[in-house]
Amino acid sequence: MEGLWTMEKQVQLLMGNEAIGRGLLEAGCQVAAAYPGTPSTEVLQAVIDRQHEAVEPLHIEWSVNEKIAFEVALAASYTGKRAAAVMKQVGLNVAADAFMRTAYLGVKGGLVAIVADDPGPHSSQNEQDTRLFCLSARVPVLDPSTPAEAKAMVAEAFLLSEEYEVPVVLRPTTRICHSRQNVALAEPVALGRRAAFQKDPARWAATPAFLPALHRQLNDKLEQIAREPRFQPHLMAGDGSLARTALVASGIVYGHLVDLLEELGLSGRYDLFQVTMPYPLSPLFIEQLRTGYDRVLVLEETYPVIEMQLAHAGACGRHSGAIPREGEMTPDLVHRALADFLGLPQPAALAKAAPGRRPSLCAGCPHRTSFYAIKKTFPKGIYPSDIGCYTLGINLKAVDTAHCMGACISQGAGFYQAYAQDGDFPTIVVTIGDSTFFHAGLPALVNAVVQQARIIVVILDNATAAMTGGQPVPHLGWAAGGRPTRAVAIEPLVRAAGVDFLEVCDPYDQERLEELLRQADRHIRSPQGGVAVIISRHGCLMDKAVLKGQARFALTINDACVGCRKCVDQFECPAMSMDAEGGRALIDQDRCVGCGTCIPVCPVKAIIKEAQA
């Protein structure tokens, strides 16, 4: 795509995340850092894909974790340049230490944190609401209702950040991130800024003595921001026939409500407010609702952030209990809430969706053989695991816990300490992905070594951040956009953490992996034992080069099959199934990748290689 836009190219059909990425380029962002996580991942990828459209130097990075991404962007903003950090809602928990302090100290160049929320949740460990986090952190937050609005808000967020020297959060949700809309494009701006950090230790390195004054300044700024005319809630006035009743909505829920009112023939009858800045909520708006309306329906995701700030006696919403206090505000739920509020007939109940096949690791996934070997070797073990596609090891009964990024090693150590107090301990096998290991596993590994935890850590190294689309990991030597960089190998880091037992194995060699697991168990139980680490290394088969580069076999099942279901139930390869009578296993040749990892699973050796494909 060309860097200069003709009139014919001024509108494009874009995914919400693509629109936000384009908005960063148009607004003159020069440093963009992120850690991948659904539903935010495509924002930085869009910047990578469109970096040739930038008119000024642009640094893009997939950071090791969200805290680092935020801190990189923060320092860039100190120099006067515009910067952005991109993450999902639970990623903000990782960045919280830096994020919470930044509001006090402020910024110079615009700093926008794009934090994608996941009401539902669809692909997250919780459905926390970033707007409530921002209320606690004292950071303004903008809530777009469409992809086009999300793009436009990027520029507004940078302007607001620079005018008041505060960080600003743009908070799209899953339905905004992944929906598509025709979006008007503009020329990227050339701000012509050169990095110029002005030293001011009383601000940038503020000790507690300076913080009360900085806090007062922040409160003053927030009061001014709340009164900004361009961020006042937008009113779509009713015809006056139903006075003193108002509808208030924000984000994607506003779009649902507008569509629903039109569908029901109620457009233009009620005063309808769109809140684009849920925090700080305008005191003028709060007073307008308190004095002008007796009944107010507040529709928002996920927590009652607007409703609680309104503190309106006639408000109905999630805080009042009129709407379920959890889950996504789907169009059906909005319809039911509106019908309850207005005394309209309830919509017909939606038919229940047919149950689908449960998510499973891909055919040929190296993680499957790792989990199978762990479960087979230590059937009575405890298996802490982590966040990633390998969480699906739960299907193989080789994952007992999955809490948050990096927690598996710490939890493994905690299990050990609790059992060791009683004089003995079970074999504890931790599984953690390579990207997660770099993200948050290293400090936990150091702590486990220092605290002398006797656990086995299996690093599932498939050479990519697979769950979020194959972003690069530090040990490959590739940065964002395919730029070559220094590779940081896992093995030296593990050694430097103080681990004495370290082995590397291709999990496709299941017999070898099982032997290494037994050796690791002997090590942790020896007098000099401590943490044992095995790196289970085989590339992700979503990478076509990996699939093309490995041996591939034509596999069949012969008459020796006794229908024990071990390959289907315990190994759970999606290419395996049972015939209609359940008496014999079948291989779906369209799904099978010919890896042969199922061969040692069969107790009667009924799975055979016919010939190399």
Express each pLDDT in 61-103 by its tens digit.
999 899 999 999 999 999 999 999 999 999 999 999 999 999 9
- CA pair distance 429, 415, nearest whole angstrom: 11
- CA pair distance 515, 502, nearest whole angstrom: 13
pLDDT > 70? residue 8: no
pLDDT in the model for residue 7: 39
Mean local confidence (pLDDT), 269-286 = 96
pLDDT > 70? residue 273: yes
Dihedral sign, Cα of residue 175, residue 180, residue 185, residue 190: positive
Name the pLDDT band for 207 (thresholds 50, 70, 90).
confident
- CA pair distance 295, 247, nearest whole angstrom: 9
Residue with tokens 């071990």: 566
Residue with tokens 């003193």: 244
Mean local confidence (pLDDT), 419-435 = 93
CA 282 to chain centre: 30
Q: Where are the beta strands (DSSP E) in 456-605?
A: 456-461, 501-505, 532-537, 553-557, 576-578, 585-587
pLDDT > 80? residue 490: yes
Task: List the one residue out of 394, 392, 432, 390 whose CA is nearest residue 412.
Answer: 432
Cis check for the bond before 39: say yes or no (omega within 30 of 0).
yes
501-505/532-537 β-pairing? parallel
The answer to whether residues 161 and 167 touch, using CB atoms and an 8 Å cutoff, is: yes
Hey, what are 212's tokens? Answer: 């009360």
Mean local confidence (pLDDT), 45-51 = 95
Q: Where are the beta strands (DSSP E) in 328-482?
A: 384-385, 401-402, 429-433, 456-461
With 0-12 CB in 10 A as exposed, 13-18 as middle and 19+ as buried, what is 336?
Answer: middle
- CA pair distance 476, 581, nearest whole angstrom: 47
- CA pair distance 18, 571, nearest whole angstrom: 38
Residue with tokens 């509108």: 11
Higher pLDDT, 112 or 584: 112
Hey, what are 228's tokens? Answer: 């900004």
Residues in the chain: 613
Express each pLDDT in 460-482 by its tens digit.
999 888 888 888 888 888 888 88
Mean local confidence (pLDDT), 42-61 = 95
pTM over 0.85: yes
Beta-carbon contacts of 180 under 8 Å, excluding residues fewer than 6 positions away, are 13, 14, 15, 16, 147
Mean local confidence (pLDDT), 440-461 = 94
**122-136, 367-381, 530-544: least confidently modelled range:** 122-136
pLDDT > 50? residue 4: no
Name the pLDDT band for 5 (thresholds 50, 70, 90).
very low
pLDDT in the model for residue 321: 87
Residue with tokens 């930044």: 102
Name the pLDDT band for 2 (thresholds 50, 70, 90).
very low
Residue with tokens 């998510």: 359
> What percentage of the chain reaches a pLDDT higher than 70?
97
- CA pair distance 361, 67, nearest whole angstrom: 29
CA dihedral of residues 474, 449, 372, 489 (deg, nearest 10): 20
pLDDT > 60? residue 613: no
The answer to whether residues 409 and 383 touch, using CB atoms and an 8 Å cutoff, is: no
pLDDT in the model for residue 3: 36
Residue with tokens 């830096």: 98
Beta-carbon contacts of 295 under 8 Å, excluding residues fewer than 6 positions away, are 244, 245, 246, 314, 316, 341
- CA pair distance 252, 146, nearest whole angstrom: 7
pLDDT > 90? residue 489: yes
Higher pLDDT, 503 or 440: 503
pLDDT > 80? residue 355: no
pLDDT > 60? residue 231: yes
**102-111, 267-276, 398-407: least confidently modelled range:** 398-407
- CA pair distance 103, 562, nearest whole angstrom: 66
Mean local confidence (pLDDT), 264-292 = 95
Q: What are phi and psi of 583, to 5 degrees?
A: -95, -10
Tally Cβ neighbours within 10 Å of residue 244: 11
pLDDT > 60? residue 424: yes
Hey, what are 562's tokens? Answer: 């006794």
Three-state SS at 568: helix
pLDDT in the model for residue 123: 81
| Residues 310-333 as b or e (16 or more Cβ within 10 Å = b) | bebebbbbbbeeebeeeebbbbeb
Three-state SS at 102: helix
pLDDT > 50? residue 358: yes
